[in-house]
Amino acid sequence: MSEQETPKARPAVRTLSDLARIAGVSAGTVSRALAGNSLVNTDTRERIVALARDHGFRPNKMASSLRRQKTDVIGIAIPLGHDSRQQISDTFFITLLGHLADALTERGYDLMLRRVIPERDEDWLDRFIGSGMIDGLLVIGQSDQFDRIEDAADGYLPMVVWGNHAEGQRHCVVGTDNRLGGRIATERLIAGGARHIYFLGDTSAVEFAARYAGAVDAAERLGVTITPLTSHLSSDRLEAEVAANLDRSFEPGDAIFAATDTLAIASLARLKALGIAVPDQVRIVGFDDLPLAAQTTPPLTTVRQEIRAGAFAMVDLLIRRISGEDTESIVMPPHLVGRHSG
Amino acid sequence: MSEQETPKARPAVRTLSDLARIAGVSAGTVSRALAGNSLVNTDTRERIVALARDHGFRPNKMASSLRRQKTDVIGIAIPLGHDSRQQISDTFFITLLGHLADALTERGYDLMLRRVIPERDEDWLDRFIGSGMIDGLLVIGQSDQFDRIEDAADGYLPMVVWGNHAEGQRHCVVGTDNRLGGRIATERLIAGGARHIYFLGDTSAVEFAARYAGAVDAAERLGVTITPLTSHLSSDRLEAEVAANLDRSFEPGDAIFAATDTLAIASLARLKALGIAVPDQVRIVGFDDLPLAAQTTPPLTTVRQEIRAGAFAMVDLLIRRISGEDTESIVMPPHLVGRHSG
DNA sequence: ACACGATTTGCAATCGATTGCAACAAAGCG
DNA sequence: CGCTTTGTTGCAATCGATTGCAAATCGTGT
């Protein structure tokens, strides 16, 4: 077994200079050859490339990054401000992350993921930016860090944020028109006969606050009562909070607008446990249109966000910002997906 | 607005030398001061630390990594071999990723995520390892890359893999005893009256193959028929494949063992659409015990994997490997969670 | 007053790849 | 044949932080 251990017991080619010595050229030439630089003679280049392959040589990325002042790595920060536990597992964020990974990989970037708990680390944004490890930064969700993000954006161009767009904000954001989404969800409920709407969500996150604001717009305009109920997204609290919030007597005309499909699905489960029929006794509308939303009983009526398109837009904007352009934000329209829950 | 733009229009302290000049010391001293090295005078150190804070100075991590030959970054590779699209969104993998992020952050590591499509990139493992960007590597799922992982493990100690453990394998793995899990799932179905079991999953991934093997063990021993049906996990194919696989006439005694809760939940939805009652006409058992499993109708009977414990174990092993120890694999026992679907 | 030890600081090499500039050779031109 | 042009290659500086070793400072003991 240990004698087998040396199929390639060569001195190990670790650096450009090692390879250069073997090839009988200088390190500079090897560097240029591997970079496909046309300055080197074609024969030389092919010989060097072949040698590199044979010896399994890979240039050290740290050294390269240092010299070029470019890492080909994009940072992804997930602030867990208003909800410090485990928001990373929220299906929506994860789906977005998956698509971002797709888009970035396609463009030749690696991604460096960092969970951030702003309460414990005031300095998270500047630290990440200043580390020199990343060429650009994507922030997934503003959480309650809107102001800090604004501050950072003043001095750091290559940053794009997923979240809500506010009038006159300075950082570049991609997201859904949350207020409009809240409005159409609420209008749907009211059109279905709702007279009293409970909003389930955590309004200290700006995205959700905007959905709530939209709901209030519609409710007030149409003369319907609306009551906010705070429910967090962290998986360890979600069920209990939803249960507590729904432990009330519902009357005809009551309805629920959940800030998130995750919350809506938990509500569905809770109501079933309580023996309350959806949508007959209580109507529910969610937000996101996760794949799961179509599979619940009854299938969930929800407001769709275009996650994949959003992810690709974020990457596109970021890359333009990296090259110096000061891009505008993108606000995507939400679409109501009418199914059977509300 | 643009006049406001310079609240701190100082020359910008970007390097150790910049700060050293301001502090009136040498770069070496600054480096030692910021590292908390006791060689420097306490007064000097405090002065330098304060100065660094005032100027928002952050040492360049690339330079540091290069010099120290240590990056404090752990790579996480997600091979999408047997299922190239979007496996990253599989809830199980994502949950694992979340916990890994927790554990690594706690230990002071950053994480670099890389989706890998081995078909398109033969060299993915050595490339990641050889890049010099990471101090260690976690691989989430062996997919169909078992042999390649074995090869790499011979020459690279700091690597831990989530997946299945095979007799005599050389790479360090953390995972559930999939074969045993498959067995107990199947025994449960048979105890409930099943005479013919359909296995839903993709046996080209070793983890799932082991679950199937366990199912076959139990079925053969107890004289029950078992039929494998190939269903992939990628979100774009999953529904159609499950639908196609379940588009058959079920007879009394038929049951389904889904390799994954995700598949089980999709099956539940499909059977409901077909008007087939669970568990009265067909019993179903899943695998993973995702949070969602408790919320389906009927609640899903499944085999639980301890994801969080597994994630922390992986990180623990990895860190010991980074410091040179050659750790053993960890195989965790699966637990049947009996609910109502099977 | 001098030597010696303990602290503290500076100097300069180092990590490995990249790249501007100079050097050199070969080829083209008058 | 001498001179310019084109094509290749080497040399050495550079990115920014770290660290072994030497040097400087201060204090103390004799």
Phi, psi of B79 (to 5 degrees): -75, 130
Nearby residues of A221 by Cβ (< 8 Å), 6 or more positions away: none
- The mean pLDDT of B223-249, rounded to a whole number, is 87
Same domain for B315 and B276: no
Model confidence at A148: pLDDT above 50: yes
- A111 vs A269, higher pLDDT: A111
Model confidence at B6: pLDDT above 50: no
Percentage, residues of chain B above pLDDT 70: 94
> Of the given ranges (A1-5, B209-213, B248-252), which has the lowest mean pLDDT?
A1-5
Q: For residue range B177-231, list pLDDT tens digits in order.
A: 999 999 999 999 999 999 999 999 999 888 999 999 999 999 999 999 999 999 8
Contact between A128 and A134 (Cβ < 8 Å): yes
Residue A8 lies in a domain: no
- In which element (H, E) is residue A273 found? helix A261-274
Same domain for B281 and B194: yes
Model confidence at A233: pLDDT above 90: no
DSSP per position, A177-229 = -HHHHHHHHHHHHHHTT-SEEEEEE-TTSHHHHHHHHHHHHHHHHTT-EEEEE
Residue B68 lies in a domain: no
Distance (Å, whole) CA A193 – CA B293: 32
Residue B320 maps to which CATH number? Answer: 3.40.50.2300
- The mean pLDDT of A211-219, rounded to a whole number, is 97
- Asked if B71 has any chain A CB less than 8 Å from its own CB, the reply is yes
Min CA distance, B277 vs chain A (Å)? 14
Model confidence at B319: pLDDT above 60: yes
Average pLDDT, chain A: 90
Same domain for A219 and A151: no
The shortest CB-CB distance from B110 to any of A65, A114, A265 is to A114
Percentage, residues of chain B above pLDDT 90: 70
- The mean pLDDT of B78-90, rounded to a whole number, is 63
Rg (CA), chain B: 26
* Confidence (pLDDT) at B234: 75
- Asked if A86 has any chain B CB less than 8 Å from its own CB, the reply is yes
Count of residues in chain A:
342
Q: For residue range A60-97, list pLDDT tens digits in order.
A: 999 999 999 999 999 999 888 655 555 555 778 888 98
Same domain for B197 and B255: yes
> Of the given ranges (A71-85, A318-332, B5-19, B247-261), which has the lowest mean pLDDT?
B5-19
E-strand ranges in chain A read 73-79, 110-116, 136-140, 159-162, 173-176, 196-201, 225-230, 254-258, 283-288, 301-304, 330-332, 335-337
CA A311 to chain centre: 7
> Of the given ranges (A55-69, A236-250, B185-199, B319-333), which has the lowest mean pLDDT?
A236-250
Q: Do A132 and B61 touch (CB under 8 A)?
A: yes
* Cα four-point dihedral sign A91, A76, B136, B320: negative
Same domain for A299 and A185: yes
* Confidence (pLDDT) at A292: 81
Measure A40 CA to D2 C1' (Å).
29
Query: In 3D, which of B226, B112, B184, B14 has the Cα closest to residue A112?
Result: B112
Model confidence at A54: pLDDT above 80: yes
Provide the greatest CA pair distance for chain A.
86
- Whether cis (ω within 30° of 0) applies to the bond prior to A252 is no
Query: In 3D, which of B273, B341, B291, B295 has the Cα closest to residue A268?
Result: B295
Model confidence at A7: pLDDT above 90: no
* Confidence (pLDDT) at B53: 93
* Confidence (pLDDT) at B1: 42
- Residue A131 lies in domain: 73-177+307-334
Same domain for A184 and A296: yes
Residue A263 lies in a domain: yes
Residues of A in contact with B58 (CB under 8 A): 126-127, 130-132
Question: What's the number of domains chain B is made of?
Answer: 3
* Cα four-point dihedral sign B18, B23, B26, B27: negative
Residue A6 lies in a domain: no
- The mean pLDDT of A149-165, rounded to a whole number, is 95
E-strand ranges in chain B read 73-79, 110-116, 136-140, 159-162, 173-176, 196-201, 225-230, 254-258, 283-288, 301-304, 330-332, 335-337
Q: Number of CB pairs < 8 Å for A and B?
A: 112
Model confidence at A31: pLDDT above 90: yes
Distance (Å, whole) CA A50 – CA B259: 44
Measure B65 CA to C18 C1' (Å).
18
Contact between B174 and B162 (Cβ < 8 Å): yes
